[in-house]
Amino acid sequence: MIWSLEYDISAFAVCLLFVIYYYIGKNLPIRRNRLFLGLLVVQLCFTLSDIVASVITSYPDVFSYEIIYAINIIYYVLLVVCPALFALFTLYAVYGDKVSDKRAFALMIPSIPFVLIALTTPLNHMIFAVDKNGDFVYEMMRPLPYYETLFYMCISSALAISNCKKVLRLRQKYVLLIYAVATMVCHTIQVYIMPYKQTVSLGVVIGITAIFLAFQNPDYYREKRTELYNLRGMQLYVNEEYYYGHHRPFLGFIITNFSYFEFADSEYYVYNVLRHVGRFLKNSFGKDVLFYFENGVFIIFLNESKDIIKCRDIIRNHFMKPFEFENGYISLEVSFFYADGDIVFKGYEDLKDTLHVAIEQSRQLSGEKTMQITEETHIEAERRLEVEMALKYALENDENLLVYYQPIFSNIEKKIVSAEALVRIYDPVHDKILMPDEFIYIAERNGCIMKLGMLVFEKTCKMIKEFDIARFGINNVEVNLSPRQCIYRGLAEELIEVMNRYRIDPNMIGLEITETDSSDKSNVYKNIEVLREYGIKFALDDYGTGYSNLVNILKVPFNVVKIDKSICWDYFRGGNNLLLEVIHQFHNRNKIIIVEGVEDKEMAEKLDELGVQFSQGFYYAKPLPLDDFIKFLKDYQKEYRKEQKEV
């Protein structure tokens, strides 16, 4: 009796290549991937046992009765284990990280009787028998493994089609069905049509190849420049770890001068920096789970036996030395944060929000300090998530998005002549008003800043048109633009469209921009140029904070410079003369100056004496809701006219 082995040999070679590639590619350490590896190894052993069993069974005069039994038992055990493992893989593919151990075990139970039948074949002779002469004979119950395979392929197909959690992409669903169909077709051929053609291995390998292409491409979860796992991989890994109660300690670090390389506007520099860091981490922490988070931030999930501080020192010592670059040396500055595993995170989104807080706070650390993520950090992240939900709700419900207006006083005309539009959000859950510093950075991070900015601009234009505020002596209203908004190519056109819709004179609008370190300044300049040609004036907001400097200001045609309240307060409260120097600089360059933070009469009079053209602050009025602002203008206009008559 001679079996045809060409299918087995081909299948063995393919499986061996996949196993080797799996280890070289270093797949994400999640259960689904480990199951795929298990499926590969079992299929590899199954195919090898099929080859060996076919050979020794063909030569009963060479091999003993016991050896023939043993090898064929191994073959049939692996034959019934393969479909059960595939069904388990499908379960994890469909339900992601939400598969309990009990559910996984329950799925494997139906395969146990078939394994026991295979193991006890010398006693029950249900599937095959080997007589004393070593001759191999199929018995009446030979199709038992076939029916077990059919059962598990039906279960797998039902799971794939239902896709209850909508985790699978359409291609992945079809691939799971291809595996089931290919396995059953080839199994049917071997059992009922060509019993001596070993086609079962062929069907399984066809399915495994399809699964590998759809599920197991390691590049899908790898950041190409660093060759570390990316955010998609981190989400899968973290959700699974936390679902099963594994809260491993992690160490994170930030390349604090990473924005410099982005500012250099060279992907070449960024690529080489990230590649260098990725190689170092893989060499030093290859047995840990390494992720590139974003914007020069790296996360290492450590084995619990490792000392976090020692790991930090390894990284710090490495970056104390500049690394050699093609055109010289590059020095990288780093700051650190860590969590020791005591904090219980709900999942990836919860961890991500906490990481954003940790990253922001660790950037502010000086010297060799390291930030520890504590429960307070976690609570702060949860609060920010609440703010994000309030922001989302406000963007969908117009009445919760509020615009306040703060008057601006002219020291030349001695009256209120302008105002600044300031956004607020009403949080209905906590029944409070949220200030911009609580939600603007969130809007910039999650991408809704464009929608937020346009809604504020439209509300401002609607207010100007509806109340005709020019009759109250208001010459223009200043509206803030986020630096992220200014990068958007279509910004100028959208703003002009809104103004045209409400028929707003361009002179009634002033736009305030905070100087930033954004590397994409070309779009900022283009938007400013288009809007200037339309007739809108620009002000540099919050001079003295962030990345503002005189060189950058002179590159952009700002008509007005707003000096931040911190500089004003430092002069009046602490005797810092920076305010005087700044006023002198901009007077010499014929810039209009607005000073923020004016709180009393003494400050107002002194700024007037220094030649500041405009002042803004609580001394004149706090930011006011729309109705209060209009009432303020009416009352102020009456009072101003009364004073003028008396003069």
DSSP labels, 269-302: HHHHHHHHHHHHHHHHSTTSEEEEEETTEEEEE-
What's the pTM value of the predicted model, to 2 decimals? 0.71
8-state DSSP, 400: G
pLDDT at res. 113 = 93
| Mean residue pLDDT across the chain | 87
Residue 344 three-state SS = coil
Confidence of residue 267 (pLDDT cuts 50, 70, 90): confident
pLDDT above 60 (res 9): yes
Segment 247-275 mean pLDDT: 79
Query: Has residue 644 got a pLDDT over 80?
Result: no
Of 55-64, 442-451, 595-604, the poorest mean pLDDT is in: 55-64
At residue 324, what is the residue type?
E
Cα Rg of the chain, angstroms: 35
Amino acid sitting at position 29: P
The Cα 160–Cα 214 span in angstroms is: 14
Strand 370-372 and strand 334-339: the pairing is parallel
Asked if residue 499 lies in contact with residue 461, where contact means CB atoms within 8 angstroms, the answer is yes
Write out the residue limits of the CATH 3.20.20.450 domain(s) in the chain. 398-646
Going by C-alpha positions, the residue among 259, 258, 289 that lies closest to residue 276 is 258
219 or 236: which carries more pLDDT confidence?
A: 236
- Whole-number pLDDT of residue 164: 56
Q: Which helix (H) or strand (E) holds 534?
A: helix 521-534
* 624-636 mean pLDDT: 95
CATH 1.20.1070.10 segments of the chain: 6-216
Give 213's pLDDT tier (boundaries 50, 70, 90): confident
Q: Which residue has the tokens 């919760």?
A: 400
What is the pLDDT, as a whole number, of residue 130? 85
What's the CA gap between 295 and 348, in Å, rounded?
Answer: 18
Q: What is the pLDDT of residue 645?
A: 73
Paired tokens of 125:
């002779």
pLDDT of residue 534: 94
What is the sign, positive or negative, of the torsion defined by CA atoms of 623, 627, 631, 634? Answer: positive
The two structure tokens encoding residue 452: 């937020």
The span from the CA of 259 to the CA of 110, in Å, is 57
Strand partners, 136: 130
State the pLDDT at residue 155: 94
> Greater confidence, 196 or 332?
332
Written as one letter, the residue type at 158 is: A
The answer on pLDDT for 519 being more than 50 is no
Whole-angstrom Cα distance, residue 93 to residue 84? 14
618, pLDDT greater than 50: yes
Q: Which residues touch 566 (CB under 8 Å, ≥6 apart)?
A: 544, 545, 597
Token output for 136 = 């191999």
Phi first, then psi: what are they for 618, rounded to 5°? -65, -20
* Other Cβ atoms within 10 Å of 32 Cβ, number: 23
Element (H, E) at 434: strand 432-434
Residue 414 has pLDDT above 60, yes or no: yes
pLDDT attached to residue 21: 85
| Whole-number pLDDT of residue 484 | 83
Measured N-to-C along each axis, helices 144-162 and 65-95 cross at an angle, to the nearest 10 degrees, of 10
- Residue 342, helix vs strand vs coil: coil
Angle at 372 between CA 368 and CA 375, to 5 degrees: 160
- Say which DSSP state 191 is in: I
The residues, any chain, with a CB within 8 Å of residue 94's CB and separated by 6 or more, are 159, 160, 162, 163, 164, 165, 167, 168
Highest-scoring range by mean pLDDT, 131-135, 177-181, 209-213, 474-478: 474-478
pLDDT at 647 over 80: no
pLDDT of 518 strictly over 60: no
95-132: per-residue pLDDT in tens? Answer: 876 788 899 999 999 999 999 999 998 888 899 888 77
SS3 content of the chain, % helix, strand, coil (to 5): 60, 15, 25
Residue span(s) of the chain under CATH 3.30.70.270 come to 220-373
Number of H helices, E strands in the chain: 25, 20
**Which residues are bridge partners to 17 per DSSP?**
none
The span from the CA of 88 to the CA of 156, in Å, is 8
Q: What is the mean pLDDT of residues 340-353?
A: 87
Query: What is each CA distance from 487 to 427, 444, 479, 519, in whole angstroms?
Result: 29, 12, 17, 10
User: What is the distance, to the nearest Å, from the Cα of residue 350 to the centroid of all Cα atoms in its chain?
Assistant: 12
Does residue 377 register a pLDDT over 60? Answer: yes
How high is the pLDDT of residue 551? 45
- Can you identify the CATH homologous superfamily of domain 6-216? Rhodopsin 7-helix transmembrane proteins (1.20.1070.10)
Q: Give the CATH H-level superfamily of domain 220-373.
A: Reverse transcriptase/Diguanylate cyclase domain (3.30.70.270)
Which helix or strand (DSSP H or E) is residue 351 part of? Answer: helix 348-363
> Among the CATH numbers 3.40.50.2300, 3.50.50.60, 3.60.15.10, 3.20.20.450, which is that of 398-646?
3.20.20.450
pLDDT at 24 over 50: yes
**Predicted confidence (pLDDT) at residue 19 exceeds the cutoff of 50:** yes
Of 383, 503, 504, 527, nearest to 450 (Cα)?
527
Residue 547 pLDDT level (bands cut at 50, 70, 90): very low
Per-residue pLDDT averaged across 359-379, rounded?
Answer: 83
